[in-house]
Structure 1
Amino acid sequence: MNILLINHYAGSDYHGMEFRPYYMAREWVNMGHNVTIIGADFSHLRKKNPKIEDSIQEEIIDGITYVWVKTPEYKGNGIGRIKNISTFMYKLRMNYKKLADKYKPNAVIASSTYPLDIYPAYRIAKRCNAKLCFEIHDLWPLTPMEIGGYSEKNPAIVLLQRAEDFAFKNSDRVVSILPNADRHIKERGFNTDNYVHVPNGIIIDSEKKTPQIENSIERLQELKNQGYFLIGYTGNHSPANSLNTMLDAAKKTEDEKIKYILVGNGNIKDELIDYAKSNNITNVEFLDPVLKDNMENVLRLLDICYIGLRKEKLFMYGVSPNKLFDYMLASRPIIYSIEASNDPVTDAQCGISVPAEDSNAVVEAALKIKNLSEEDKIIMGQNGHEYVLKNHTYHGLAEKFLNALK
């Protein structure tokens, strides 16, 4: 099968996020299929963006054909990002015939977070008589409406809503990372017989790497040697992740020999540091992000991993955070401070689920896990490890996605 996937932000192990298109494509290539990924050459999510000279340029990465579309660089969510998206869409619109005739896909997947790429995907699929698949990551435009407070009458929201409705109406398959996105499709008035849930997943590396020891890992090892019980969060420091709740919990456990650790960067990291200082929270440490190959070493030094999200109606359609599956793979007990329609931590019995934005509940869960016997902590971690291997390996998820395309 020839598969063509459009994802504006698609990355790889060499570029950084977004990883899902790369991992899916790599599995499909290993199964004997031809996979082409079309992405913009600039994305704010990547650690390293590809360097291209032409307007549209091809590159082969691990057997996957990447087609990079040259787009302007930007910072933040202002006019620069709008220009970047507009350029990507315009170039696909002008070149869809060439792309269709060159790669001759049997299946076309529109997979960017925003739904506008459904239009070039539809044209390419129509020209090649291919199956059209719409993949939902986050629900747009519902996400900016619920979290950003945008009105449904905002011109950008109207544009995005038309695109999403077009996708629901014209796609042969709708695949979603979110377990209950079909509720949203029904609310929009569309049939869900063609809906398939394919969550995020994990990669099992058979080749054990020994990356350099970084300062963050050395500091964690120091704290362990000093006898601290470590509760950690790894990843992006953004408003959605409810990290203030974690800091408030830290303030309430200063009498215990517990350290709360935040590893990573993000647009509110400085605010969180200021918040900790102004509230005299002394048992929290902010550490630099580490290399991807070092993340397992970070997680294995933590006694508990924390994951949280703000209270939002949006999460009633479900969540599928990559971070959670990394925690499970590392066999760590987890505090899950999320209110959503799904709860993998309870399903796996690998930690304690508490209400969102409730620091007292986080403290109670932390002390409960801390006071467990070592054997019970190990069992809790193993439960998560077994659950994620059973339900979230990319090989199994790629097969499920492929069956949906067929």
Structure 2
Amino acid sequence: MNILLINHYAGSDYHGMEFRPYYMGREWVDMGHKVIILGADFSHLRKKNPQIKEDFEEEIIDGITYVWVKTPEYQGNGVGRIKNISTFMFKLRMNYKKLADKYRPDAVIASSTYPLDIYPAHRIAKRSNAKLFFEIHDLWPLTPMEIGGYSKNNPAIVMLQRAEDFAFKNCDKIISILPNADRHMKDRGFSADNYVHVPNGIIVGEKKNAPMEKTIERLQELKDEGYFLVGYTGNHSPANVLDTMIDAAKKTTDEKIKYVLVGNGNVKNELIQYAKTSNVTNVEFLDPVLKDNMDNVLRLLDICYIGLKKQNLFNYGVSPNKLFDYMMAARPVIYAVEASNDPVKDSNCGITVPAEDPDAVVKAVMDIRNLSEDEKNNLGQNGKDYVLENHTYRGLAEKFLDALK
């Protein structure tokens, strides 16, 4: 089968986020299929963007054919990003015939976070007589409406809603990372008979030698000094409400418990200042590490923490990659998330607490700390067993492929 996947932000192990198209594509290639990933040459998510001279340059990565489209660089979420998206969409629309005739796909997947790529995907699929699929990552435009406070009458929201409705109406299958996104389809007045849930996952068996980094050295120092470490790894963004973690640290009286936040993000400096002005001394902010070093970070943590803002949006479920990384590392988890699904509870790998509740976080920290080593290890192993059974990319790629067939 020839599979053409359109994802504006598609990355790889060599470029950085986002990884899902790469991991899925690599598995499909291994199963004997041809995979073409169509993406923009510039994305704010990647650590390293491809360098191309002209539109639709090809790059073969681990058997996947990446086709890069030249787009303008940008910073933040302003006019520059809108111009980047508009350029990508315009070039796909103007060249859909060339793309369809050259790659002759059997399946076309529109998979960007925003739904506008459904239009060129539909044109390519129609010209190629291919099946058309729409993959939901985040629910747009519901996400900017819920989180950003945009009105449903905002012109941008109207445009995005038309695109999502078009996808629901015209696709052979709707595939989503979110377990309950079918509820949203029904809310919009569409049947969910063609809905398939394929969550995020983990890669098994890939161990790479990475250089020692200062963050790991510091964590090891803290362990050697006898600290019990409660850690968060990843993006420091408003959605992760990391001030809850700082507030929990302030309320923690045990001097040998330390909270560590590993990573970067657009509110990191604000969080550092918040901890300083709040006189919180048992928090440390550490630099991000290479992806290949994340296992070395997680093994030094006694508890892994994940939190999200209270949002009606999460009634459709969540599928955070970070959580599965925590579970695969066999670490007990504190899950400060209120959503329609709860992998921590399902797997019995930690403690679920209400979102944005620092007192509940402190209690969970103390409850886990007071467990015996065997009990802590059992919690961690429960999480690892759960992701190995439900979230390996090999199994997820097979499930996705069944939907394509």
**Interval containing the TM-score (normalised by the shorter chain):** over 0.9
Match of 2:248 in 1: 249
CA offset at residue 56 of structure 1?
2.0
User: Matched residue of 1:139: which SS?
Assistant: coil
Match of 1:396 in 2: 395
User: Matched residue of 1:332: which SS?
Assistant: coil
CA offset at residue 205 of structure 1?
2.7
Match of 1:132 in 2: 132
Measure, in 1, the Cα distance between the counterparts of 2:270 and 2:205. 36
Extract unaligned runs of 5+ from structure 1. none
Amino acid at match of 2:211: Q
Extract unaligned runs of 5+ from structure 2. none
* Superposition map of 1:158-307 within 5 A: 158-206=158-206, 208-307=207-306
Measure, in 2, the Cα distance between the counterparts of 1:318 and 1:121. 26
Measure, in 1, the Cα distance between the counterparts of 2:253 and 2:60. 52
Measure, in 2, the Cα distance between the counterparts of 1:22 and 1:13. 8
Amino acid at match of 1:145: M
Given the alignment of the two structures, is residue 34 of structure 1 paired with residue 43 of structure 2, yes or no?
A: no
Amino acid at match of 2:14: Y
Query: Is residue 26–residue 62 contact of structure 1 (8 Å, CA) maintained in 2?
Result: yes
Query: Is residue 254–residue 283 contact of structure 1 (8 Å, CA) maintained in 2?
Result: no
Match of 2:82 in 1: 82
Query: Is residue 2–residue 104 contact of structure 1 (8 Å, CA) maintained in 2?
Result: yes
Match of 1:145 in 2: 145
CA offset at residue 211 of structure 1?
1.1
CA offset at residue 100 of structure 1?
0.2
CA offset at residue 365 of structure 1?
0.3
What are the Cα deviations for residues 11-35 of structure 1, in whole angstroms up to 9, with x where unaligned? 0000000000000000000000000
Match of 1:320 in 2: 319
Number of residues paired by the alignment? 405
User: Matched residue of 1:39: which SS?
Assistant: strand
Given the alignment of the two structures, is residue 10 of structure 1 paired with residue 15 of structure 2, yes or no?
A: no
User: Matched residue of 2:305: which SS?
Assistant: strand
Given the alignment of the two structures, is residue 382 of structure 1 paired with residue 397 of structure 2, yes or no?
A: no
Given the alignment of the two structures, is residue 347 of structure 1 paired with residue 342 of structure 2, yes or no?
A: no
Amino acid at match of 1:7: N
Measure, in 2, the Cα distance between the counterparts of 1:55 and 1:120. 16
Match of 2:44 in 1: 44
Measure, in 1, the Cα distance between the counterparts of 2:66 and 2:221. 43
TM-score normalised by structure 2 residue count? 0.99
Measure, in 1, the Cα distance between the counterparts of 2:84 and 2:29. 29
Measure, in 2, the Cα distance between the counterparts of 1:202 and 1:347. 18
User: Matched residue of 1:5: which SS?
Assistant: strand
Query: Is residue 254–residue 282 contact of structure 1 (8 Å, CA) maintained in 2?
Result: no
CA offset at residue 359 of structure 1?
0.3
Measure, in 1, the Cα distance between the counterparts of 2:198 and 2:218. 37
Q: CA RMSD in A?
A: 0.6
Of 254-263 and 313-322, the range deviating more from structure 2:
254-263
Measure, in 2, the Cα distance between the counterparts of 1:89 and 1:205. 37
Query: Is residue 239–residue 268 contact of structure 1 (8 Å, CA) maintained in 2?
Result: yes
User: Matched residue of 2:148: which SS?
Assistant: coil
CA offset at residue 242 of structure 1?
1.3
Query: Is residue 311–residue 357 contact of structure 1 (8 Å, CA) maintained in 2?
Result: yes
Measure, in 2, the Cα distance between the counterparts of 1:179 and 1:79. 33
Amino acid at match of 1:379: N
User: Matched residue of 2:95: which SS?
Assistant: helix
CA offset at residue 212 of structure 1?
1.0
Measure, in 1, the Cα distance between the counterparts of 2:205 and 2:57. 30
CA offset at residue 255 of structure 1?
3.3
Measure, in 2, the Cα distance between the counterparts of 1:364 and 1:372. 13
Amino acid at match of 2:20: R
Measure, in 2, the Cα distance between the counterparts of 1:168 and 1:305. 37
Match of 1:361 in 2: 360
Match of 2:64 in 1: 64
TM-score normalised by structure 1 residue count? 0.99
- Identity among equivalent positions (%) equals 79
**After TM superposition, where is structure 1 displaced by more than 6 Å over at least 4 residues in a row?**
none
Measure, in 1, the Cα distance between the counterparts of 2:343 and 2:133. 26
Amino acid at match of 1:405: L
Measure, in 1, the Cα distance between the counterparts of 2:236 and 2:171. 35
Amino acid at match of 2:318: V
Measure, in 2, the Cα distance between the counterparts of 1:349 and 1:101. 50
Amino acid at match of 2:45: L
Match of 1:91 in 2: 91
Match of 1:113 in 2: 113
User: Matched residue of 1:190: which SS?
Assistant: coil
Amino acid at match of 1:13: D
What are the Cα deviations for residues 104-148 of structure 1, in whole angstroms up to 9, with x where unaligned? 000000000000000000000001111100000000000000000
CA offset at residue 256 of structure 1?
3.5
User: Matched residue of 2:340: which SS?
Assistant: coil
Query: Is residue 309–residue 356 contact of structure 1 (8 Å, CA) maintained in 2?
Result: yes
